[in-house]
Every structure is written in structure tokens, then in C-alpha cells.
A and B are shown apart, each in its own frame.
Chain A
């Protein structure tokens, strides 16, 4: 029996649904303890990055030299893991900013970057010196006093690299990744 024949015999099912709109109580959630908690008084975790880059204006390559990070994410349950996670987040952010790109064939949409040989991630040689500061209070209203760290440490890293490249070159790059060809194009008089 072919797929077409099977599909013809099966009773139709709908897999679409509509998501509800955002409401005033979205910040109301169930904590792992089972208790309801509201994250309004001190609402959000936050992070700040400062980043130093070297831009080779002749050949277009960008090297991230050093990243300083500050985080307000409450108590660190396992400090070594928190540090390690942020190091990874910074490296991933550098990938967003400078390297990661999916390449497709323009006519068929076939993905051409099938592996890590073409889909570039930062390597050990692209990893900057990293210095971190954690402000470990402010989440006492949450049981355990700790909050999440993953996204808040990953997302601003690429922005910090972009801002540093802007500061270095005077050109605001709007497309990621900031490949050597794009860097040189932005530097053209």
C-alpha cells in the first residue's frame, strides 16, 4: 500500500490551533515547588556585556579579544557550572555574530551547509579571554533564590560584538554573521 493510499484511508485530522493572546497574568506561573509565584516585584534576570574586538581592516577578519560579563541572576547554585555556562554562551554569541550561517541553493532551497565543515562554529582559537561578575542577590522571593541563566547570557553576547565592531570601524553592520566580505564592504569609502 502506498503512502497516498494510506493517506486516503485515514480519517482527516486537524493539527492547527490558535494561540491565546498575551494577558496581564503571563508573569504568573507555577514554580517547580508547586506553588504559584508572580515575577513582578523584581521581574527579570539581566546581563550586561562589554566586549573588545580587533578588526583587520585589510582582510576583514574580526577577532574577539576579551569579554567582560555582569549578571543579576540570583544565587548561583553551582558556581562552577554557572561560569562554564556563561563561557559557552559567549562563545555561542560570537558564533552568531561572526560565523554561523546556513547556506542554501537560491533556486531550490536545498541546504548546502550540511555539516560543521561549512556551518562554522567558533573554535578554541576564537575563544576570548572572559571575565565574569555575578551579583548574587535579588531573587529571595523565589524559593532557593536562584533564577535562569541560559538565554540572558547568550543573547546579548552577539550584540556586544556588533557594538564593538561598530565602535572599531564606525560602520553599523546590520547583517549577521559579520563575515570578512561584509566587514570590507562596510569599510569601503
Chain B
């Protein structure tokens, strides 16, 4: 594989695969799903810091590692719904290498996409073999031709804070636009060829916020979640003033569940409010044949997250 060490953003050519931490790309290169050329941006200056002062917004460089994100005092204090997934996902080794930019731009973990002998929309094929094949770990919200969930847990935390992203060509775009609506199966993110994510900006911290992150896995660690949920509630007095509920493992994009948020806002934080809201978690769900089992899991995971947010906030 042809690897170029980038010394500035201008070295990123239109056909380049960007290498930062390499936790996703090295695996794709090994299996032959990606052939390069590769541009190594890990040494680019100024992209690995977390900035912000006082009660203002916070900026995260694209090369900040997941481990650094989870260990940062400002993030842990002001953005707990982002710190929690950063401290829980994958393994300590992966978190030490993986970067913020890589977490948001990584490719799908679908076993058909990553198989060296199979083809799908993303690897030059004209169909999704998972759709009528083995999609046991597939989506429960069928938003487009690709039926494997988006892998990023960090994305849920950023969605929950209405973060924005900047690239080499664009400034402060709402983070959700990085993944679009899931209708294009040929790509994992909306960056143009040669465009590189440079920064994510989090708005100023919200006082009186409570949050939780719940991840449904069968093992303790090192597993792509069947369902995961970030819940964030702003509760200045006796009523829920603001709510964000984002779920992963269930759609080919990180998904915000707006109908639950509407159910929560303006209500007191009682267990009946939470149960009624969690029941709406599968509004609009469209499970595949082998993913019906995820529906009760989504409700349970969302309910767990809401309950934990209020109990441990």
C-alpha cells in the first residue's frame, strides 16, 4: 500500500484513504476491502487538542483520541453524555489509538462489506447481500439500502449536544449532516473526496443536565452493541425542559428519537413519564426479518438510560 505522510491538509488527494489512528483502516487494508492510496494525517499539527474556556463552547480536534476525550476533565464535567461512551466503547487499546475524526468517519462493520470475497453497494456491487442474507446484527429502522447499523457511539454523544463539525472546506455544519438520512448505501459519511474533518464544536455546557449512556452487549467489553442509547435531560426545576435521546445499533446512521424527546419535554420526571416515553422508542421502527428481537431491546435500553439519567445525575 502506498502511504504518504501528510505535512499539511493540501497533501490529501481526492482518491486518498485518510489514516489517523488506523483502528478501522488497517483492518480494511488487511482484508483488501480498501487498497489505498493512504495519506497519514496523524502528524498534522493543531488537530489533537481540546479547547475552550470557562462556560464557553468547547472545540475538539479531529485527532483527539477517544481515550483523551474520555479522560478530559472539561468533557467529563460539562458533557457527561459524550464522556460516557468515550470511556466505554471497544477496548482500552482501541480507545488509546482511535481518533474522534475516525470514530465519526469509520466505515460500516457489516460482515458482508468487510468480507474479502463478497461485494455490496460499498465495494462495487449492485445489491446488499445482508438484506436477504444474514443480518442478525442489522438495523431495526430500515432507512436505506444498507442494513447494517452505524458503528459510532461517540456520534450519539455529539448528536445529544447538537455539536457541529468543520472540515478543510466547510465550517460549523450540524453534526447530523455528516451522515445524512441513510439513503445512500455507497458511503459511510457525507464528506467529499479529499475533504477532511478537522474539528467538532460543542455548544456551551448546560447547567442542571443529567445524562446516561447504556450499551446492550452480551459481553462486558469489546463488542458492537446490539442497541445503545445516550439520554440527556435538562431539569432546572421540577419539569423536564430539554431532552435528547439518541440510539445506536439500530439504523445505518446515528439516530435521534425526536418523538421520545417531545414526550418528555414539559413533564415531571416520574417513572410513568419515562415508561410512556420509552414505549415510543420504536415509533417508526421497521425491523428486518432477523432483527425483530431488537424492538423490545430498544425500549428496554432507552428506559434504562432515562432511569439512570435521573437516578445518577
Which of A21-29, A54-62, A71-79, A144-152 lines the interface with chain B? A54-62
Q: B304 touching A125 by the CB < 8 A rule?
A: no
**B window 273-307: CB within 8 A of A:** 293-294, 296-297, 300-301, 303-304
Q: A112 touching B111 by the CB < 8 A rule?
A: yes
In the bound complex, residues from chain B placing their C-beta under 8 Å from that of A99 are: 218-219
The answer to the question of B222 belonging to the interface, with a C-beta cut-off of 8 Å to chain A, is: yes
In the bound complex, residues from chain A placing their C-beta under 8 Å from that of B112 are: 105, 112
User: A59: which of B133, B134, B223, B297 is its contact (CB, 8 Å)?
Assistant: B297
A94 to B, closest residue via Cβ = B219
Q: A107 touching B111 by the CB < 8 A rule?
A: no
The answer to the question of A114 belonging to the interface, with a C-beta cut-off of 8 Å to chain B, is: yes
**A window 116-157: CB within 8 A of B:** 117-118, 120, 122-126
In the bound complex, residues from chain B placing their C-beta under 8 Å from that of A125 are: 219-221
In the bound complex, residues from chain B placing their C-beta under 8 Å from that of A112 are: 111-112, 115, 134
A185 to B, closest residue via Cβ = B293
In the bound complex, residues from chain A placing their C-beta under 8 Å from that of B304 are: 58-59
Q: B218 touching A61 by the CB < 8 A rule?
A: yes
Q: B111 touching A114 by the CB < 8 A rule?
A: yes
In the bound complex, residues from chain B placing their C-beta under 8 Å from that of A103 are: 111, 134, 136
The answer to the question of B109 belonging to the interface, with a C-beta cut-off of 8 Å to chain A, is: yes
User: A114: which of B115, B134, B217, B223 is its contact (CB, 8 Å)?
Assistant: B115
B279 to A: closest C-beta gap in Å: 14
Known A106-B134, A180-B226, A184-B296; contact A61-B111, beta-carbon cutoff 8 A: no
Q: A122 touching B219 by the CB < 8 A rule?
A: yes
Interface bits B211-225 vs A (CB < 8 Å: 1, else 0): 000001111111110
The answer to the question of A65 belonging to the interface, with a C-beta cut-off of 8 Å to chain B, is: no
B292 to A: closest C-beta gap in Å: 9
Q: Is chain A's binding surface mostly helix, strand, loop or mixed? A: loop
In the bound complex, residues from chain A placing their C-beta under 8 Å from that of B221 are: 123, 125
Q: How many A-B residue pairs have CB under 8 A?
A: 73
Q: A179 touching B134 by the CB < 8 A rule?
A: no
The answer to the question of B126 belonging to the interface, with a C-beta cut-off of 8 Å to chain A, is: no
The answer to the question of A33 belonging to the interface, with a C-beta cut-off of 8 Å to chain B, is: no
B122 to A: closest C-beta gap in Å: 16
The answer to the question of B145 belonging to the interface, with a C-beta cut-off of 8 Å to chain A, is: no
The answer to the question of B129 belonging to the interface, with a C-beta cut-off of 8 Å to chain A, is: yes
Q: B115 touching A110 by the CB < 8 A rule?
A: yes
For the complex, give the distance between the alpha carbons of A125 and B134 in Å. 28
Which of A61, A112, A124, A179 counts the most B-chain CB atoms under 10 A from its CB?
Answer: A112
The answer to the question of A98 belonging to the interface, with a C-beta cut-off of 8 Å to chain B, is: yes
In the bound complex, residues from chain A placing their C-beta under 8 Å from that of B136 are: 103
In the bound complex, residues from chain A placing their C-beta under 8 Å from that of B118 are: 105, 110
For the complex, give the distance between the alpha carbons of A120 and B114 in Å. 17
In the bound complex, residues from chain A placing their C-beta under 8 Å from that of B294 are: 181
In the bound complex, residues from chain A placing their C-beta under 8 Å from that of B111 are: 103, 112-114, 118
Known A60-B297, A114-B115; contact A107-B219, beta-carbon cutoff 8 A: no
For the complex, give the distance between the alpha carbons of A97 and B31 in Å. 30
In the bound complex, residues from chain B placing their C-beta under 8 Å from that of A181 are: 226, 293-294, 297
Which of A60, A113, A124 counts the most B-chain CB atoms under 10 A from its CB?
Answer: A60
Known A118-B111, A120-B223, A181-B293; contact A105-B218, beta-carbon cutoff 8 A: no
B303 to A: closest C-beta gap in Å: 8
Q: A180 touching B134 by the CB < 8 A rule?
A: no
**B window 186-212: CB within 8 A of A:** none
Q: Can you name 12 extra interface pairs (CB under 8 A) apart from A58-B300, A120-B223, A181-B297? A: A58-B303, A59-B304, A105-B112, A110-B115, A110-B117, A112-B111, A113-B111, A114-B114, A123-B220, A123-B221, A125-B220, A179-B218
Query: 8 closest Cβ contacts across the A-B interface?
Result: A125-B220, A181-B293, A112-B111, A58-B300, A105-B133, A59-B216, A59-B300, A125-B221
CB<8 Å pairs between A and B, sample of 18: A58-B303, A59-B297, A59-B301, A59-B304, A104-B134, A105-B129, A106-B133, A107-B133, A114-B111, A114-B115, A117-B109, A123-B220, A124-B220, A125-B219, A179-B218, A180-B226, A181-B226, A181-B293
